[in-house]
Amino acid sequence: MKKLNIYVLTLALAGLGLSSCKKSFDPKSYAPPLSVGGYTSVKEIAASNLVAYYSFDGSLVDSVSNSTGVGTGTSFTPGFERKALQGGVNSYVLATPSAAVAGLKSFTVTEWYNSPPPSTGIIGIFTLAKTTAFWGNIEVFFENGSDNTNGKVRIHIAKGGGDYTFAVDNVLNLFGKWNNLAFSYDGATSIATLYVNGSKITAAAVPGLTGDANFTDVGKLTFGCVQFMTEPSQTTATGRQDWANFLTGQLDEVRIYNKALSGAEVGAIVGLEGRGK
C-alpha cells in the first residue's frame, strides 16, 4: 500500500510540473491577420509608388526621402495615429520636395485632418508651391462658407502656364472630427477624383486640364496654409490675403503617391489606418 501511495504521489507531482510549464491558450494567436481589401498593412499598398510620407509622429521627417521640414509655430499633439501636427494662426510647415514629388505626372494625396470650418478665410491644407504663380502646382483648401452641410473643397493643379481648378461642393460632415481626405489625378484619363473617408465623392475632368501633370518652378511643400500665407510668401503674391486663413486643427498621416490610386486602394488605406495598421 505504501508503494502504491508513493507511485500516485509521483504521478501527481509530475502532472503538476507539466501543467506549470503549459502556456495558457490565447485565441488571438490563432486568429488570421486583419485584412482590408487583401492588405494587412498600409505599407503593402502601392509601396513602389509612395514618394513621400509625413507621419508627424513627433517629427517633420519625410520617411521616404529622409528630408526634414521646418515648422513655424507648429507643435505635436495626440493624433489620428499616435501624434499629429498641431496647426494654428500664423503656423505652418515648409519642406523641400524630392525630385519624385516635383516630377509627378499622375498622383494621389491622402491625409487625415481635424479642423473647424472656415470662419475668417479659406483653410489651406496642403500645397506644392509654384514660385512664379499665385496658386501652387497643387493647392488644396476649404473654401469660405464651408460648413458640415455644404463643404467646399478646392484643388488647384498647375500645368505649364495654366491653373486648373477641381471644385467640389455639397460635401457633408467635413469638420469637427477626424476625416480622411484623398484626391487623385490620372494623367492617362485626365480625371480627378475626390474621396472622403475612403468613399468616392466625385470623379470628373478638370476643366481645361488634359494629359499628364507637368509641374514647373516647383517650390516648397506647405502644410497648414496656402502658399501665399507664409512669411515670406512662397509665390508671386506679395503678402497675406485677408480672405485666407490657417489650419488651426490637426493634420496627420500625409502620403503622396506617383499614380492615381484605385478606389479600393484608397479605401484600404483608410480602413487599415483606422485600425492602426
At 130-168, the pLDDT tens digits run 999 999 999 999 999 999 999 999 999 999 889 999 999
- Categorize the per-residue pLDDT at 48 as very low, low, confident or very high, splitting at 50, 70 and 90: very high
Alpha carbons 268 and 277: distance in angstroms, whole number: 10
Answer yes or no: are the C-beta atoms of 93 and 222 closer than 8 Å: yes
Q: Determine the residue type at 74.
A: T
pTM value is 0.88
Over residues 191-218, the pLDDT tens digits come to 999 999 999 999 999 999 999 999 999 9
Over residues 230-259, the pLDDT tens digits come to 999 999 887 899 999 999 999 999 999 999
The phi, psi pair for 21, rounded to 5°, reads -90, -15
- Arithmetic mean of pLDDT over the chain: 90
pLDDT at 11 over 90: no
Contacts of 52 by beta carbon, 8 Å cutoff, 6+ apart: 62, 64, 65, 97, 98, 100, 101, 221, 254, 255, 256
**Percent of the chain at pLDDT exceeding 90:** 82
Residues facing 165 on adjacent strands: 156
Q: How far apart are the first and last CA of the chain?
A: 63
Answer yes or no: are the C-beta atoms of 124 and 222 closer than 8 Å: yes
CA angle 86, 61, 270 (to 5 degrees): 65
pLDDT at 25 over 60: no
Note the pLDDT of residue 29.
52
Note the pLDDT of residue 17.
47
For residue 207, say if its preceding peptide bond is cis, omega within 30 degrees of 0: no
The set of cell numbers assigned to 134 is: 499665385
> What b-and-e string marks burial along 91-108, b requiring 16 or more CB atoms within 10 Å of the CB?
bbbbbbbbeebbebebbb
Helix (H, G, I), strand (E, B) or coil at 264: helix
